[in-house]
Structure 1
């Protein structure tokens, strides 16, 4: 499958991203995920009926994750540029913080978007549940359920580590 479709997938991703290096990285991640998924379900990769459609679906999800991480990094760097010079982090500290943000993003990646948003508004912005409910236009009870889901996800990942 790799030999037959890798060049095509990189080309498809390159058109979407405009960056050949990111396209190659995401294509590699796509094939890794496809192989791992096939092993987990005990199927042969050659049994996949529409390999390009399947690869496109997996690659699209990985591409969105990549773009979300990129957006998160850009927002962080933009907020850093607003800080006074004496409070700007060193390059090493900035790298550690970006890595931590990427890990947090990965940790919360399996959550539905609304749950992830509520969790981040609470944990990163420090907003109370009432404020989150107003911003998201949901009830406080719903925010509480979203938070419980977020904490369960964190606990699950901690227990797996």
Structure 2
């Protein structure tokens, strides 16, 4: 182990020992589930270890709360996507329902698409979704979101460029 990694690991271990049970309790109150709270607390500390140096954190609980809120947002978004997907499967005949593995792959793909689209500004995301899902024309989209058709065209270019770039990224 390098000497430069040692202080960060020590600070992270100390942060974990000092605040892990508090964070897990904080998450459990919001989720109502001990297992999910434990998973998100773990994910929060993994983010610290893979990112910012732990010894640079001045307000540990505020920092942990911010990271945990982001993890909660991702957790709820994923749960909502999974529920919507599973609800859509209910309408399929049993013979055409996908396997568990296929379901997991679809949910993973939906999460990726969702994370890519959430990098767009809100109106650009709305324009893209109206175009791709609702099959609206640029003029119809413009009227719905309150911008010009030229702006919708710009939003579409931005969204498509981001989607292509995300497919090329490892």
Q: Runs of 5+ in structure 1 lacking a partner?
A: 39-43
User: 2-side partners of 1:37 and 1:3: how far apart?
Assistant: 18
Tell me the TM-score normalised to structure 2 length: 0.76
**Taking structure 1 as reference, are residues 121 and 3 closer, same or farther at Cα in structure 2, changes over 3 Å only?**
farther
- Hey, what does 1:153 align to over in structure 2? 162
Matched, 1:23 2:37: yes
**Which digits, 9 at most, give the CA deviation of each residue in 1:18-67, with x for residues without a partner?**
122222222222222233331xxxxx422221111111112111211211
Match of 1:143 among 143, 148, 152: 152
Q: Runs of 5+ in structure 2 lacking a partner?
A: 1-14
- With 133-142 and 22-31 compared, the bigger mean Cα shift is at 133-142
- Please list, as runs of the form range in 1=range in 2, the aligned pairs for 1:64-79 lying within 5 A after superposition: 64-79=73-88
The list of structure 1 runs, each at least 4 consecutive aligned residues, that deviate by more than 6 angstroms after superposition, is none
Higher gyration radius (CA): 2
**Which digits, 9 at most, give the CA deviation of each residue in 1:84-132, with x for residues without a partner?**
4444333333232222212222333433343333333333444433343
RMSD: 2.4
Match of 1:129 among 114, 138, 152: 138
Secondary structure of the residue aligned to 1:30 is helix
Tell me the TM-score normalised to structure 1 length: 0.79
Q: Say how many residue pairs are matched.
A: 156
- Please list, as runs of the form range in 1=range in 2, the aligned pairs for 1:41-120 lying within 5 A after superposition: 44-120=53-129
Deviation at 1:14, TM superposition (A): 1.2
